[in-house]
A and B are shown apart, each in its own frame.
Chain A
Amino acid sequence: MLYREAGDFKTSYAKDNQTFPIKFDRVAYYVLLVVAFGVVPFIINDYWANAVIVPFLIYAIATIGLNILIGYCGQLSLGTGGFMAVGAFASYKLMTAFPEVSIIIHILLAGGITALVGVAFGLPSLRIKGFYLAVATLAAQFFLVWLFNRVPWFYNYSATGQISAPERSFMGYVVAGSNVGAVEKYLMCLVFVVAVAWVARNLTRGTMGRSWMAIRDMDIAAEIIGVNPLKAKLTAFAVSSFFIGISGALLFTVYLGAAEVGEAFGISKSFLVLFMVIIGGLGSIFGSFAGAAFMVLLPVLLKNVLVGGMNWPTDLAAHFQLVIVGALIIAFLILEPHGLAQLWRVAKEKLRLWPFPH
């Protein structure tokens, strides 16, 4: 019943090439959008927004960004936390320097600044690749965190080095700062997620995405067929950092409201986002969402079951959670190295053939 292609004819190239070629998928996508925009805002409460959905949406943006770099262009990066910090500090400086400009513009500008920084740190990718590039971007992570800790100008000379977002509103609703309501927080992140996913999807299936993938698959062959590696690699770094910067800006302005660079944007952030990309599936927009959901929701779920449901001591539960998440990651990588996205693809394939597999 699900996923039948019978009667679903494609009569044009555009139709054949659409994002959701199966009608069921297409309908499901629109239903999801309607529910996300039309239903969830009315039922969401503080707990769901702050503990589950908003972090999921923000990390989904970061994961899409990193996925463009690693999954589509094949450039290994460990600098995600540092680039998120650039987004956060850029938005902070812009918010405090130009209070009259809309926060939406500030967040986009913060993404733009991060894109420039990303390109600067992406320059070595022209000479080195693989693990060597990973080490170079790791340096970016440490350098940026050190910079934001070291230079007081970045945190406006505050005594503690903490940055805290001043209150900003959009069309009369408070959307940034520490007092953002659950609904505003959710909608703000949702709009950015949908926009980012849409842009990313369309970039990756256009000329730019194809040149990224050519570089990923074999850079010398790509160069021979006319892909400019300089342009392809640097655009991948720019677009990726742009999205990561936006997610850092949202994490700081909308979600946390205050942040401390070492704590909020440390090396563990880089690894977390990298795990999301790997678990979700390299080179897949859906996989980015699935990976972010897996890494954000699973710990909360486990905590609720182990501590809330089974009354385990909190420390035992916390340790067990590490064990379970770790074991699941290993199991995933052994059973399905292409991540959740591939699992989903296989499931769809099976459903389309059911009940008559070959």
Chain B
Amino acid sequence: MKLKLATLALSALMAAAPAMAELVYPSLSYRTGAYAAGGIPFADGYADYFTLLNERDSGIGGVKAKVIECETGYSTEKGVECYESTKGEGALVYQPLSTGITYQLIPKVTADGIPLHTMGYGRTSAANGKVFSNVFNYPANYWNGASLAINHLLDINGGDIKGKKVALLYHNSAYGKEPIRTLEELAKKHGFELSLLAVDHPGQEQKSQWLQIRREKPDYVLMWGWGVMNQVAIQEAVNIKFPMENFIGIWWSGSENDVLPAGEAANGYKALTFHNVGSDFPVFADIQKYVVDAGKAAGAGDQIGTVLYNRGLYAAMLAAEATRKAQELSGKAQITAADMRDGMEALEITEERMAELGMPNFGPSFKVSCANHGGPGTGAVQQWDAAAKEWKLISDFGPSDMDVIQPLIDEDSMAYAKENNITPRECN
């Protein structure tokens, strides 16, 4: 027994020792808890892409990538514990997939000099790179999402939504409250009526909110939900016979998990997206060959091509590309977190590069800069086809209304800078 314990302790020590000549990407995943349905495919996609790079190209720039998973259960306290336990192992970038954990980590990563990439979530005003030097949220953020949803409504109404009623059904947390400011500004600009309906964590109780929707009869319902809240909302919408095509979710409310439980009735439900859908890209053939068939898939291998798997894959791809950029800039293969930060700030994703990676048209082409960590903020609308059981893009990737969003970003980030005594960096 003693020997066993000693071996155990020794192996624990070995596992904790800093890894040499490896690029470390911690994955603060959640495969358990109320939000596991969203956490599992994302974590699978994130891990599988790095496995693919290791198997097919023997790593990035000749150095193997290593993904350290740490289970947070979407809890901020566990997220902090995970961050502290992995940051010493040469962590290059954190992608926690949780707005709550992001808020905890922003000051910590800034102090430790590790970049934080919160793709499509987190603190929206982190798009201002002058204030948030180590936080990135390209290619799009919640405020872009809010504007994209309204743009879509303008599109289908011939450019005029004056007097229309729009309800926002949101998760009653920092995540769900993010778009409210932007929507209020947009309501002023376009003259629609906005009503707010909060749903408490984890989101199973929505009867009263839908009763209110039935009473008020809004023309459109927007949803900022995550996890079980989405499928409950869609089921409730079906129950009150709310027209599905007038129900639009943010990108975190538009995966297969959300619509499948409602079956045929969910047909026509719309959601936003900032990357393409489906598994019709060359990269998936490689994943099948090098990862799944080789028995190296992170999960059960059954999520490939789903919306959230693709998003995890996309997140990993952006991290890998930033790593390549960092290797190019620093001239060494084994980069540090500081190099990685510079790589992310100089990241440029082009159409050609996406095609080379086997993901043509998968996401927008964009360029990150010192001042703009938020990317282009473009997105499209996807619609659920219940008969085919797949999401289809019904619009092109269009721009969001930066005239409204940019002042809000500046205002919020400067308030943060003032609160925390940060002098904004000079960017040229």
Choose among A46, A146, A303, A318 the residue that contacts B84 (Cβ–Cβ < 8 A).
A46
**Is there an interface contact between B80 and A256, defined as CB atoms closer than 8 Å?**
yes
Kindly state the separation between the CA atoms of A207 and B88 in the bound complex, as whole angstroms: 51
* A-B complex: 10 closest residue pairs judged by Cβ atoms: A315-B31, A178-B107, A160-B174, A309-B12, A314-B71, A51-B81, A318-B71, A318-B32, A162-B174, A50-B84
Kindly state the separation between the CA atoms of A46 and B73 in the bound complex, as whole angstroms: 22
**Is there an interface contact between A309 and B15, defined as CB atoms closer than 8 Å?**
yes
Whether B57 is near chain A, meaning CB under 8 Å from some CB there, is: no
Whether B111 is near chain A, meaning CB under 8 Å from some CB there, is: yes
Interface residues of A in 253-268 (CB under 8 A from B): 256-260, 262-264, 266
Choose among A179, A256, A260, A318 the residue that contacts B111 (Cβ–Cβ < 8 A).
A179
**Is there an interface contact between B84 and A159, defined as CB atoms closer than 8 Å?**
no
Whether A17 is near chain B, meaning CB under 8 Å from some CB there, is: no
Inter-chain contacts of A229 with B (CB < 8 A)? none
List 13 additional A-B contacts (Cβ < 8 Å) besides A161-B173, A314-B69: A46-B87, A51-B80, A160-B103, A177-B420, A256-B104, A260-B76, A263-B100, A303-B71, A307-B70, A308-B15, A309-B9, A310-B8, A313-B31
**Is there an interface contact between B177 and A161, defined as CB atoms closer than 8 Å?**
yes
Whether A55 is near chain B, meaning CB under 8 Å from some CB there, is: yes
Choose among A47, A55, A178 the residue that contacts B77 (Cβ–Cβ < 8 A).
A55
Interface residues of A in 6-55 (CB under 8 A from B): 46-47, 50-51, 55
Whether B16 is near chain A, meaning CB under 8 Å from some CB there, is: yes
Whether B419 is near chain A, meaning CB under 8 Å from some CB there, is: yes
CB closest residue in chain A, given B175: A160
The minimal Cβ–Cβ distance linking A91 to chain B, given in whole angstroms, is 16
CB closest residue in chain B, given A257: B107
Inter-chain contacts of B103 with A (CB < 8 A)? 160, 162, 164, 258, 260
Inter-chain contacts of A177 with B (CB < 8 A)? 107, 420
Choose among B107, B180, B201 the residue that contacts A262 (Cβ–Cβ < 8 A).
B201
Kindly state the separation between the CA atoms of A300 and B200 in the bound complex, as whole angstroms: 29
Whether B108 is near chain A, meaning CB under 8 Å from some CB there, is: yes
CB closest residue in chain A, given B415: A158
The minimal Cβ–Cβ distance linking B199 to chain A, given in whole angstroms, is 11
Inter-chain contacts of B177 with A (CB < 8 A)? 159-161
Kindly state the separation between the CA atoms of A256 and B73 in the bound complex, as whole angstroms: 17
User: A159-B412, A162-B174 in contact; A304/B32 too (CB < 8 A)?
Assistant: no
Best-surrounded residue of B16, B36, B111, B177 (most CB of chain A within 10 A): B177
Kindly state the separation between the CA atoms of A256 and B11 in the bound complex, as whole angstroms: 31
Kindly state the separation between the CA atoms of A46 and B114 in the bound complex, as whole angstroms: 15
Inter-chain contacts of A304 with B (CB < 8 A)? 12, 85
Kindly state the separation between the CA atoms of A258 and B77 in the bound complex, as whole angstroms: 11
Interface residues of A in 319-354 (CB under 8 A from B): 319
Choose among B11, B123, B174, B412 the residue that contacts A309 (Cβ–Cβ < 8 A).
B11
Kindly state the separation between the CA atoms of A289 and B224 in the bound complex, as whole angstroms: 41
**Is there an interface contact between A256 and B32, defined as CB atoms closer than 8 Å?**
no
The minimal Cβ–Cβ distance linking A78 to chain B, given in whole angstroms, is 17
Whether B58 is near chain A, meaning CB under 8 Å from some CB there, is: no
Inter-chain contacts of B32 with A (CB < 8 A)? 315, 318-319
Inter-chain contacts of A105 with B (CB < 8 A)? none
Whether B75 is near chain A, meaning CB under 8 Å from some CB there, is: yes
**Is there an interface contact between A260 and B100, defined as CB atoms closer than 8 Å?**
yes
Inter-chain contacts of A179 with B (CB < 8 A)? 107, 111
Kindly state the separation between the CA atoms of A177 and B420 in the bound complex, as whole angstroms: 9
Whether B29 is near chain A, meaning CB under 8 Å from some CB there, is: yes
Interface residues of B in 172-201 (CB under 8 A from A): 172-174, 177-178, 180-181, 198, 200-201
